[in-house]
Every structure is written in C-alpha cells, then in structure tokens.
Amino acid sequence: MADHGRLAEYLQAMRARVRPDDVGLETYGERRRVPGLRREEVASLAGVSASYYVRLEQGQSANASDQVLDNIARALRLDTDEHEHLRVLARPRRRRAAKRPPVERVHEATGQLLDGLGDVPAIVLGRRTDVLAWNRLGHAFFAGHLDFDAPARPADRPNMARLVFLDAHTRDLYPQWTAKAKAVVGNLRLTAGRHGDDQLLNALIGELVTKSPEFAALWADHRVQACTATEYAMRHPLVGDLVVHQQAMTPAHAAEQTLVVATSEPGSPSQSALVLLARAVRDAAWLRR
C-alpha cells in the first residue's frame, strides 16, 4: 500500500477512538454518523484548516511541518510511539526498486553475548521477528519443541509473530495471551511504517491476516507499541507457572535486530523455575555427548 494510504488509515483509526468529550467538545446529544472525531474537529483542535487536514489525511500534503504533526498528535491524544509512527507515515520515502531483502545475520559479538548469558533465556530477533539465534536456555524457554539449529538455516528460521498467533505451544506459554498478541502486532505496525517496501514483511503480515482472525482484528485497530520491557505470566510445560520480565534491546552491531532476555525476581519461585530449567538443559546437553 502506498504511504498516503497507510497515513489515511492510521489517522482515521486514531480519530475514531477519541470521543468528543475526551477533548472537551460539546455534542449536545447529537447523533453522530462516525465514531470519534470528525475531520473538521481534529483540524480545529490542531489549529489547521479543515481543507488542509483533509488533504493531509488523503496524502496530498507531504510536507507537513513538525509543528503541524505535533499539534495533530496532541489533538488525537497520541502517545510517544503513536506520535513517532505518525511522523514516519507523513514523511515521503524515496521509492526503491522492489527486491528481495538480504538475509539477516547475527554479528559474531552478539553471538558471543548470547553464549555469555548462559543461564538467562535469550534470543535475537530480526526486523520481521525471525529468530536469528538463541542460546540453549532461550530455546528451551521460548520454543523447546522446535529444532535448536533452525535459526542457523535462513529458510527454516522460526518467526516469533507467526509462533504467537499460529503455534499452539507458544500460545499456551502465555496465560494472558491477548497482552502478548497486542504487543507483537503493535511492534509489527511500527516496523511496517518504517519499512513499507519490505516484501517479506508484507508477505508475513498478509499471511497472518489470512490465517488468524485475531491478528486481522488487531491489525485493523492500527495501534502501535514498541516492545521494550514487559512483565509476563508464563506457563512452561517443564517448570510450570512463573513470571518473567522480558526486556528488548538493540545489539551494538545491528540497529534493526532485537536481543530479548527473560529475567525473574531474585529469590522468587520464578527464579527457582528458571534455575530448574537451566539444570535440565545442561543435563540434556551432557546426555547428548
């Protein structure tokens, strides 16, 4: 989809979720044909003309100033991630010839970091949430039912978004699955805004929209969310219930990759569960010798 189409859909979705009384507008009990705010109401709140806002929403005002975008973000009550997503969609990108993106690789230093984390579950995700690498505990914690060596084969790499929505084992890991699903979709939205011409990313999104009604509904909501640090209750098939803090960070040598680690509160039953899982992984490795 062209950038102006993405911008139009995003602005329409964002103004549909804001009620007039949320922003101090009187409706006097009138029946409204559209949910949320009308275009002219957003324009008034943002201090621009209605005709200008309509052109912006239709993708005909590609040079909107930062101040205008900031005013619109305030009018629509956008948070930091949503505001940045608006900026990305509103800025025209130079079109490049469509080609297959290069295979993503993990830098040697990142691989060394994974090995050094040892008893901390850790995985490296690519731009499209493909699993590029994991340490032994990360594999056992997030996807022990899959082949450990799969990330080393680009054609066989697991994809975390696909696993969350289409894999029963991964779904069962999250008793509060909806929260995880929303985070995955929100993060994919941010990536799609920055890389709208990524053929593989668009193919993944199309597949999930087709195969998962839940993904399709969340995708249509247009919410965005950067995955940074989130606490999840999890139910692991080997060590039972536990609570972990999943933190996402950017490796030093790959700005579009994400290192995800799972930690637990020191001295807690959850930490004991992770220690037990680490012991099981070491024992399994010893038996394979």
CATH number for the domain harbouring residue 66: 1.10.260.40
By the 8 A CB rule, do 204 and 166 touch? no
126 confidence band (pLDDT: 50, 70, 90)? very high
In sign, the C-alpha dihedral spanning 148, 151, 155, 160 is positive
Same domain? For 160 and 282 the reply is yes
Q: Is residue 85 part of a domain?
A: yes
CATH of the domain at 156: 3.30.450
User: Per-residue pLDDT for 117 more than 80?
Assistant: yes
Structure tokens that stand for 219 in this block: 């995708």
Q: Is residue 184 part of a domain?
A: no
What is the per-residue pLDDT for 176?
Answer: 94
Same domain? For 114 and 85 the reply is no
Same domain? For 44 and 158 the reply is no
User: Per-residue pLDDT for 89 more than 60?
Assistant: yes
2 confidence band (pLDDT: 50, 70, 90)? very low
Same domain? For 77 and 117 the reply is no
Same domain? For 229 and 272 the reply is yes
Calculate helix-pair angle for 3-16, 39-46, nearest 10 degrees: 90
Same domain? For 170 and 30 the reply is no
Same domain? For 115 and 39 the reply is no
User: Per-residue pLDDT for 288 more than 80?
Assistant: no
Same domain? For 50 and 133 the reply is no
User: Per-residue pLDDT for 1 more than 50?
Assistant: no
**In percent, how much of the chain has pLDDT > 70?**
90
What is the per-residue pLDDT for 287?
Answer: 47
Same domain? For 42 and 147 the reply is no
Average pLDDT on 36-61 reads: 86
Write phi, then psi, for 129 (nearest 5 degrees): 70, 20
What is the per-residue pLDDT for 121?
Answer: 95
Average pLDDT on 243-255 reads: 90
Q: Which one of 90, 125, 154 terminates a domain?
A: 90
Q: Is residue 239 part of a domain?
A: yes
Q: Is residue 204 part of a domain?
A: no
Domain count, the chain: 2
Q: Is residue 52 part of a domain?
A: yes
Of the segments 35-39, 114-118, 155-159, which one has the largest average pLDDT value?
155-159
In this structure, how many other beta carbons lie within 10 angstroms of the beta carbon of residue 87?
A: 14
Average pLDDT on 44-53 reads: 90
Q: Is residue 210 part of a domain?
A: no
Of 99-113, 115-129, 161-175, 240-254, the poorest mean pLDDT is in: 99-113
What is the per-residue pLDDT for 95?
Answer: 57
Q: How far apart are CA 239 and CA 241, in angstroms?
A: 7
What residues make up the domain containing 70? 3-90
Q: Is residue 197 part of a domain?
A: no
Residue predicted with more confidence, 35 or 161:
161
Q: Which one of 26, 57, 90 terminates a domain?
A: 90
Q: Is residue 212 part of a domain?
A: no
Same domain? For 35 and 128 the reply is no
Same domain? For 124 and 158 the reply is yes
Same domain? For 37 and 160 the reply is no
Closest C-alpha to 137, from 277, 285, 243, 287: 277
